[in-house]
Chain A
Amino acid sequence: MTDQHDNPVRQAIADAIASNEVILFMKGSPEAPACGFSARTVGILQSLDTRFAAVDILPDPRIRQELSALSQWPTIPQLFVGGELVGGCDIVTEMFESGELAELLGAEQQADAADPAVAERSTLQIENRLS
């Protein structure tokens, strides 16, 4: 494993995953997705009324590189719930259709409700933490 102190991008990604119950790494923003797969995943989360943090991976190629190295998952988007990779667009869609996603997120949303410190939905700007 790489020493994370020498790898601020990976550390910032790991921190973002650890500190947000539901976090989506995507191309573009929830308001302006830059890829159909990201758009569909955002649409599913929004249809479930899920509060989620979003990270746009496009501004800096190192974000995608380090995210995939960390998650061992090659494609974008990537949804994490409770610190665990749930999957990309295909798995999220499949779980949405089967009801598993609502179940998973429902449990997390209840956990959120008990925690007033949970941040409002927002686009995290990892690249701004790198300078």
Chain B
Amino acid sequence: MPDAASIKARIEAAIPGAQADVDDWTGGGDHFRATVVADAFAGLTRIQQHRLVYDVFGEEIGGPIHALSLTTISP
């Protein structure tokens, strides 16, 4: 089962320079909320920024990760 710490680590490993804050929204291990700050978001639309993060997890989103609510910030 995914947990907030592993989701944070995977986002930070996959997106260079990213800092992620992740919490388990419901405590159930399947609804997560993340705020991600990354230089890589510069010049991207919100859709593109969110896709960068979703792409880290591929088909796990909608599977074991039922929901990953995102706020993306370009510093």
Binding site for B on A (CB under 8 A): 37, 64, 68, 72-76, 85-91, 94-95
What residues of chain B lie closer than 8 Å to A88, measured between beta carbons? 50
Q: In the assembly, what is the distance between CA of A72 and CA of B47, in Å? A: 10
Q: In the assembly, what is the distance between CA of A89 and CA of B50, in Å? A: 12
Contact B62 A74 (CB under 8 A): yes
CB distance from A75 to the nearest CB of B (A): 6
- Please provide the chain B residues from 16 to 67 with a CB less than 8 Å away from any CB of chain A in the complex: 46-47, 50-51, 54, 57, 59, 61-62, 67
Contact A90 B51 (CB under 8 A): no
- Known contacts A72-B51, A74-B62, A75-B62; is A91 also within 8 Å of B46 by CB? yes
Q: In the assembly, what is the distance between CA of A121 and CA of B51, in Å? A: 29
Binding site for A on B (CB under 8 A): 46-47, 50-51, 54, 57, 59, 61-62, 67-71
Contact B46 A75 (CB under 8 A): no
What residues of chain A lie closer than 8 Å to B46, measured between beta carbons? 87, 91, 94-95
Contact B69 A74 (CB under 8 A): no
Contact B67 A91 (CB under 8 A): no
Given A37-B67, A73-B47, A85-B47, 20 extra CB contacts under 8 A: A64-B62, A68-B62, A72-B51, A73-B51, A73-B54, A74-B57, A74-B59, A74-B61, A74-B62, A75-B54, A75-B67, A75-B68, A76-B62, A87-B46, A87-B50, A88-B50, A90-B50, A90-B69, A90-B70, A91-B50
What residues of chain A lie closer than 8 Å to B70, measured between beta carbons? 90
CB distance from B55 to the nearest CB of A (A): 9
Q: List 7 A-B contacts (CB under 8 A).
A: A37-B67, A64-B62, A68-B62, A75-B62, A87-B46, A90-B50, A90-B69
Q: In the assembly, what is the distance between CA of A68 and CA of B54, in Å? A: 12
Contact A75 B47 (CB under 8 A): no
What residues of chain B lie closer than 8 Å to A87, measured between beta carbons? 46-47, 50
Count chain B CB atoms within 10 A of each CB in A64, A73, A75 and give the residue with the most.
Answer: A75
